[in-house]
């Protein structure tokens, strides 16, 4: 399934839904519809937000699949719960980050090509410990944007960059999770753009701290949280997820990579992140930038410069969807 958090008609209250064909199904309205039309109140037990549902994900995901299966096959847009339509055309809703308010967002550094290129630009060779340890930094969970939301150009930078990534969203939560058990903590996958102010980042890292303020202003996620059962046939013979990753700027293809180039798997990242710490339901773990996945790596002179006001950055990860934002 593909889950979303969305707002409708300018209402600031986020709502919980899932994608079905060209529609977004509103979970709460659909649960009310099931009670009114079928006399089944059991779906009203489903929490009202995706983040809350992730607290007991196995039970809630099972109930959400039951709800999906119970929906009418024809003319779904004509059915209502509590007098309001249960299905809204996706083009008529504003998608937020699937989890708009996680407790934490850890971003890893797990694609070897990008790491090599970034270190080379700083005059550094690959550190041998990188191959042993899945390393990460904390970014700002209070500065998340969804698909088609506008991103304010950050103050203090002249070198705005994107980073093409994908991410997992944590189910249930836990501490000291072993890598061999970590799959069960992955609720789903989403596209991630880790916006970066390179000049600010460079200043910080020259003082052996960061990235911090250079990443503090915005991260984009979406459009959906895609559950692992949607991707069972996307794993290659080496046990890696095989999905093309692309980024277009103003319609021009700039970045082109694949998820199967990930050196450290998400299971290893979960083990590392949960060591001596508690991962909470809805926490987000980013992959780090795929090879070719940013202007820093490709060099601005080769791709038309840094990101500017008015630019539209469109990321797509095969089967996870499109994440597009305009800089304003």
Tell me: pLDDT of 9 over 90: no
**DSSP assignment of 22-71, as one string?**
TEEEEHHHHHHHHHHHH---GGGGS-SSHHHHGGGHHHHHHHHHHHHHHS
How far is C-alpha 161 from the chain's CA centre?
18
What average pLDDT is seen over the chain? 96
pLDDT over threshold 90, residue 240: yes
User: CB neighbours (10 Å) of residue 314?
Assistant: 21
Q: Do residues 78 and 87 lie in contact, with contact meaning Cβ atoms separated by under 8 Å? A: no
Structure tokens at 226: 């895609």
pTM (whole model) above 0.95:
yes
pLDDT tens for residues 180-191? Answer: 999 999 999 999
Helix (H, G, I), strand (E, B) or coil at 132: coil
Over residues 135-146, the pLDDT tens digits come to 999 999 999 999
Nearest to 98 by CA among 227, 235, 270, 274: 227
Return residue ranges of the chain for CATH 2.30.30. Answer: 2-95
Give dist(CA 132, CA 288) in Å, integer: 16
Work out whether strand 284-286 and strand 105-108 pair parallel, antiparallel, or are unpaired: parallel
Please enumerate in sequence order all residues whose Cβ is within 8 A of that of 207, keeping only pairs 6 or more positions apart, or say none: none
Domain 105-326: CATH class, spelled out: alpha beta
Question: CA-CA distance, 102 to 114, in Å (whole number)?
Answer: 26
Distance CA 100, CA 260 (A): 27
Task: Considering only the C-alpha atoms of the chain, give the largest distance between any 2 of them, rounded to a whole number of Å.
Answer: 67
Q: What is the pLDDT of residues 275-298, one digit of tens each?
A: 999 999 999 999 999 999 999 999
Task: Give the domain 2-95 fold.
Answer: SH3 type barrels. (2.30.30)
Identify whether the C-beta of residue 64 lies closer than 8 Å to the C-beta of residue 51.
no
Residue 10 pLDDT level (bands cut at 50, 70, 90) = confident
Kindly report, residue by residue over 70-94, the tens digit of the pLDDT: 999 889 999 999 999 999 999 999 9
Polymer length in residues for the chain: 328
Report the pLDDT value the prediction gives residue 321, as an integer from 0 to 100. 98
- Cβ contacts of residue 196 below 8 Å, gap of 6+? 160, 161, 162, 163, 211, 214, 215, 294, 296
pLDDT over 90 at 110, yes or no: yes
**Could you tell me where in the chain the CATH 3.90.850.10 domains are found?**
105-326
Cα-flanking dihedrals φ and ψ of residue 160, to 5°? -80, 135
3-state secondary structure 213-270: HHHCCCEEEEEEEECHHHHHHHECCCCCECCEEEEEECCEEEEEEEHHHECCCHHHHH
Q: How do residues 25-50 score in pLDDT, each as one tens digit?
A: 999 999 999 999 999 999 999 999 99
């Amino acid at each position: 399934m593909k889950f979303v958090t969305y707002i409708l008609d300018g209402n600031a209250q986020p709502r919980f839904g899932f994608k079905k064909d060209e529609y977004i199904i509103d979970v709460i309205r659909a649960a009310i519809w099931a009670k009114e039309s079928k006399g089944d109140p059991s779906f009203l037990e489903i929490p009202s937000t995706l983040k809350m549902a992730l607290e007991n994900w196995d039970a809630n995901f099972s109930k959400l699949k039951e709800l999906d299966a119970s929906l009418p096959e024809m003319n779904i847009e004509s059915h209502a719960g509590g007098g309001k339509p249960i299905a809204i055309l996706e083009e008529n809703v504003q998608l937020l980050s699937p989890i708009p308010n996680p407790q934490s967002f850890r971003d890893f550094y797990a694609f070897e090509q990008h790491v090599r290129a970034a270190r080379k630009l700083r005059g550094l060779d690959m550190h041998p410990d990188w191959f042993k340890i899945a390393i990460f930094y904390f970014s700002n969970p209070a500065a998340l944007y969804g698909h088609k939301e506008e991103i304010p150009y950050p103050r203090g930078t002249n070198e705005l960059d994107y980073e093409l990534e994908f991410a997992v969203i944590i189910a249930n939560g836990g501490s000291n999770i072993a890598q061999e058990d970590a799959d069960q903590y992955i609720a789903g996958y989403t596209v991630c753009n880790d916006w970066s102010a390179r000049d600010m980042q460079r200043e910080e890292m020259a003082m052996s701290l960061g990235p911090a303020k250079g990443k503090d202003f915005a991260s984009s996620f979406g459009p959906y949280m895609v559950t692992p059962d949607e991707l069972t046939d996307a794993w290659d013979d080496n046990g890696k997820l095989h999905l093309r990753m692309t980024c277009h700027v103003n319609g021009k293809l700039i970045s082109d990579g694949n998820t199967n180039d990930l050196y450290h798997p998400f299971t290893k990242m979960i083990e590392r992140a949960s060591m001596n710490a508690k991962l909470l339901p809805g926490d987000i773990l980013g992959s780090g930038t795929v090879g070719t996945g940013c202007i820093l790596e490709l060099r601005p002179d080769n791709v038309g410069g840094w990101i500017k006001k008015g630019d539209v950055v469109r990321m797509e990860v095969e089967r996870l969807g499109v994440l597009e934002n305009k800089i304003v």
